[in-house]
Amino acid sequence: MSTDLRNAGLSHEDVRRIFDHSWSGIEPLGRDPRTGGYNRFAWTGVDLSLREWFAAEGAKRGLSVEVDRNGNQWAWWGEPQPGSVVTGSHIDSVPGGGTFDGPLGIVSAFLAVDTLRASGLVPVRSLAIVNFFEEEGARFGLACLGSRLMTGLTDADKARSLKDDSGTTLAEALTSAGMDARFVGADPAALERIGVFVELHIEQGRQLVLSNDPVGVASSIWPHGRWHFCFSGEGNHAGTTMLEDRRDPMLPFAETVGAARRIAQASGAVATFGRVRVDPNGTNAIPTQVDTWLDARAADEDSVTDVIRALESAGAEAAAHHGVGLTVRQESWTPVVDFDASLRDRLLLSLDADGTIVPVLPTAAGHDAGILASKVPTAMLFVRNPSGVSHSPHEYAEASDCVDGVLALTAVLRDLLTGPLEVVEK
Ligand code: GLV
Ligand code: MN
Ligand code: MN
């Protein structure tokens, strides 16, 4: 990519220097020194430090930083008002996650503001940088919780009663963080302020490696969801219980994991049991219960539904065979997302005008942008990830590609902050 800096104000090297500085402020927070992975879970001590970092980055630029009634953070350049340009992402992580998933979009947003200001830009509308809480759903199980609550796509009472693994509810976690959980829920005023939303994110795949481009624009997100499978059997002694007397929930669980792979493969889908809780989790005890969570995705909604149906019946059959009970409950669902085509074309044009031709690519990863897309014109930029790996410490981006990402975001925001912004009815 040849990035034309004629409007940028800061050189590639300047941006690189500021990027390295901003990144070093966030990089150690929540990092496990043993694995290099990140554990940044919503409303924990680490998250509160990350939120302080966000507020400090905003304050040092003279942006007004506020927290909405759902706990999402906003840093405003200009007055908070309807029809503003909004960019940003999240700073929470999956367990043992990578450093870029989320924070890259936030750091790039702050740097895009620096670059726009350095170029002397006078915006005709306000810009906000947003940090949506609990995007990964790693603590309370529901991904994109902050944006789902704001848009009203998740019921407030249901959200307040979501529990983490230690039994703490979201309401309790919010209260301990100084928030008022009574006010959680649909926030039309906050939503109305978003005239357009653009999220920059590390690519979670290798399409940009294959096309040899540092930056791309998103076309769509695969539909996806999460299901809780609970296998309940009978706890007993691992030595003295005859095999024929056992009701061991681990057996149908294992068979269901194998079935998920076979069924997904046959349907062109993906299905993953990535989380399991075994009760009581003793080496010399047959478990009483196995709780496990399935993540399933495909290019179209029917394929995901087919996978779930087939897997529920495979699980039920395996459970019955072993004398074990099975309940399956859907915990979340995100329909297919096709990003606003006119906004996407506009991004491509503003990048083209900046000397950058970028590819358009779909993704199977979920994002707050996917939630907002049902309410406001929304777009995404992706930055190349040479490893293609994400949700792992091996997630990676070259600093120079990150700078290209900042400059691409800058070009897009410059256009959105100065050109006409048609309101597209959703
Ligand atoms: C979030 O990154 C997801 O795709 O689950
Ligand atoms: Mn993620
Ligand atoms: Mn993410």
pLDDT at residue 4, as a whole number:
45
pLDDT at residue 6, as a whole number:
41
391 CA distance to ligand 1 middle (Å): 8
201 CA distance to ligand 1 middle (Å): 11
Q: Which residues of 363-398 are buried (b: 16+ CB within 10 A; e: fewer)?
A: bbbbbbbbbbbebbbbbbbbbbbeebebbbbebbbe
Residue nearest to atom 1 of ligand 1 (CA): 366
- The CB of 365 under 6 Å from ligand 1? The reply is yes
Q: What is the pTM of this model?
A: 0.95
- The CB of 366 under 6 Å from ligand 1? The reply is yes
222 CA distance to ligand 1 middle (Å): 11
pLDDT at residue 9, as a whole number:
74
Which residue type is seen at 94?
A: V
Residue nearest to atom 5 of ligand 1 (CA): 366
Q: Kindly give the confidence (pLDDT) of every residue in the chain, 426 residues in length, as a single tens digit, with 9 standing for 90 and above.
A: 444 444 557 899 999 999 999 999 999 999 999 999 999 999 999 999 999 999 999 999 999 999 999 999 999 999 999 999 999 999 999 999 999 999 999 999 999 999 999 999 999 999 999 999 999 999 999 999 999 999 999 999 999 999 999 999 999 999 999 999 999 999 999 999 999 999 999 999 999 999 999 999 999 999 999 999 999 999 999 999 999 999 999 999 999 999 999 999 999 999 999 999 999 999 999 999 999 999 999 999 999 999 999 999 999 999 999 999 999 999 999 999 999 999 999 999 999 998 999 999 999 999 999 999 999 999 999 999 999 999 999 999 999 999 999 999 999 999 999 998 874 444
| E strand intervals along 300-424 | 325-334, 337-338, 360-363, 378-383
